[in-house]
Structure 1
Amino acid sequence: FEGIRIYNGKAFKLQEHLKRLFDSAIAIALDIGMPSAELDLAIQETIKVNKKIDGYIRLIVTRGDGSLGMDPSSCKKARVIIIVGDIQLYPKEYYTNGIEIITSSYRRIPAECFDVQIKSLNYLNNVLAKIEAKKAGCLESVLLNTAGHVAECTGDNIFVVKQNRLLTPPAYEGALEGITRGVVLQLAKSLQIDSEEHILTRYDLYTADECFLTGTAAEVIPVTAIDGRKIGTSKPGPLTVKIIDSFTIAVRNG
């Protein structure tokens, strides 16, 4: 599946999302049944029919109708579902004031078990971690991998700023190479912000100068506390604000 944002009536980074969808399908031996160009047109038509200027697309591909059981060979034709609607993951004031998050007791599924770059509906770990966060009075939680290193959050990538360097976990640590993550890394380069993929621990999170999350639904949202520890000044930091401002311009310009 894919989650795609709509800005100014257009699907943002649609080609990148479609490439990831088709790559995931190849990895799990799923024939989508139509070329990327045809699906592209179907998505654009769905946006048009729904008259959506700003919104969200949930693109789902299943193996289609078949018999009960684990063997998918009875599913003869994949089913493509395009849902267009509204989304606001967090209240607007949180983008100004930041959010508090926790470290989850649940771990990221190891790549040895299931490649984390395959974006599938196998999100049980993430759902349980989200429930855990809500019970703790927070909106999001960080998933560590089995080595105890930071992987990502339940639906977002995570970045920290330490000594004016922008750091984010590498893919091999369990981080999905998110589309918004990629946009932010490109923006950092254009803004001449030193950025790199770097192994992170909870210590690195707690001692960071700044922290923020990125995701298609979340966009870029500041984090001001983790596990009860204040991050930096406990307010969105200057590099975070610069990234948010640049991201806002980027999505509006397509």
Structure 2
Amino acid sequence: MEDDQWIFLSGEFVQKNEAKISVYDHGFLYGDGVFEGIRAYNGNIYRLNEHLVRLYESAKSIMLDIPYDFENMKELIAETVRKNGLRDAYVRVVVSRGVGNLGLDPKSCGTAQVVVIAEELALFPKELYETGLEIVSVATRRNRPDVLSPKVKSLNYLNNILVKMEANLANVPEALMMNNEGYVAEGSGDNIFLVKDKVLYTPPGYVGALEGITREAIIEIAEEEGYTIKEEPFTRHDVYVADEVFLTGTAAEVIAVVKVDGRVINDGMPGPETAYITRCFREKVATDGMQIYAQEAEIGG
């Protein structure tokens, strides 16, 4: 219930229905800000350090000063999860430029605004993790990396939203976007991996793919398990003829794709390599990160 959900809003915890920002906030007016989506599994905030490194790097890239240092931000996130009594949660950290005037100039803004939200979230229905997704490729192209780097996780997500809208029109849960050269970049909110002859392929950042935290975790897991991983450009043809296809993301975790643009991937069921990598991933999420309940941290340490 909304009355039971606490949100951290620039210095204090407030109830959800009291969490309000000014219409003059440049995050609202212009999408001027950065964010991170983070997961907690059984009281462990997964790869919190890695997420915050990306948050602070995104902020530095757009010359946005976050009014809390790294360690304080970690504790704010942990306390938001604890205050809501959650063990498994999706955490959204938003840093906006703050309140300014109606002009574009960020110099009119005061202190940046920090919002931390924690709640339960399931991006896809549970059954789709067992049967796999059908997806389509769409006309909307990925923003050019030389115009706006995909390494900046900014509040302006209109490019991704347009992709999601095309997925909705096609009545599928996710879609693939290409870059302006026709190479596969990513989904509306997920990275993509192909498996071909037991080699894993994923698009490199320079084609427009966000170098996702879960993506990096999967690459590390695959290397530990002896897979060959290649970060190189590929086209829709490569997707169609892959042995397996899966998506990764903080919200999506790891989920198989079994049909793309009407082409059935292999036998139309989630493949063995995807299943194995998923099991390895799930073994790590409860320990790789920051344990936020003190008693368990003492027992584990």
* Bucket of the pairwise TM-score, normalised by the shorter protein: over 0.9
Q: Secondary structure at the match of 1:137?
A: coil
Give yes or no for contact 2:177–2:188 (8 Å, CA) kept in 1. yes
**Alignment partner, residue 41 of structure 1:** 75
Structure 2 counterparts to residues 155-170 of structure 1, below 5 A: 155-170=189-204
**Alignment partner, residue 140 of structure 2:** 106
Q: Secondary structure at the match of 1:107?
A: coil
Give yes or no for contact 1:10–1:44 (8 Å, CA) kept in 2. no
Give yes or no for contact 2:46–2:286 (8 Å, CA) kept in 1. no
After superposition, give the CA deviation of every residue in 1:142-180 in whole Å (9 maximum; x if it has no partner).
Answer: 010000001111100000001110100011111110000
Q: Secondary structure at the match of 1:106?
A: coil
Q: Secondary structure at the match of 1:252?
A: coil
Structure 2 counterparts to residues 123-134 of structure 1, below 5 A: 123-134=157-168
Aligned partners of 1:252, 1:4: CA distance in 2, in Å? 13
Number of residues of Structure 1 aligned to a counterpart in Structure 2:
254
List alignment gaps of at least 5 residues for structure 2: 1-34, 289-301
User: Partner amino acid for 2:194?
Assistant: V
Structure 2 counterparts to residues 1-254 of structure 1, below 5 A: 1-254=35-288
Q: CA deviation at 1:45?
A: 1.0
User: Partner amino acid for 2:256?
Assistant: P
Q: CA deviation at 1:207?
A: 0.6
User: Partner amino acid for 2:268?
Assistant: S
Give yes or no for contact 1:168–1:198 (8 Å, CA) kept in 2. yes
Q: CA deviation at 1:253?
A: 2.9
**Bigger radius of gyration among the two:** 2
Q: CA deviation at 1:135?
A: 1.2
User: Partner amino acid for 1:44?
Assistant: A
Aligned partners of 2:159, 2:76: CA distance in 1, in Å? 32
Aligned partners of 1:155, 1:198: CA distance in 2, in Å? 20
Q: Could you tell me the TM-score, scaled by structure 1's length?
A: 0.98
Identical-pair percentage = 47
Aligned partners of 2:126, 2:250: CA distance in 1, in Å? 16
State the Cα RMSD in Å.
0.8
User: Partner amino acid for 1:207?
Assistant: V
Q: CA deviation at 1:10?
A: 2.3
List alignment gaps of at least 5 residues for structure 1: none
Q: CA deviation at 1:134?
A: 1.3
Q: CA deviation at 1:47?
A: 1.1
User: Partner amino acid for 1:59?
Assistant: V
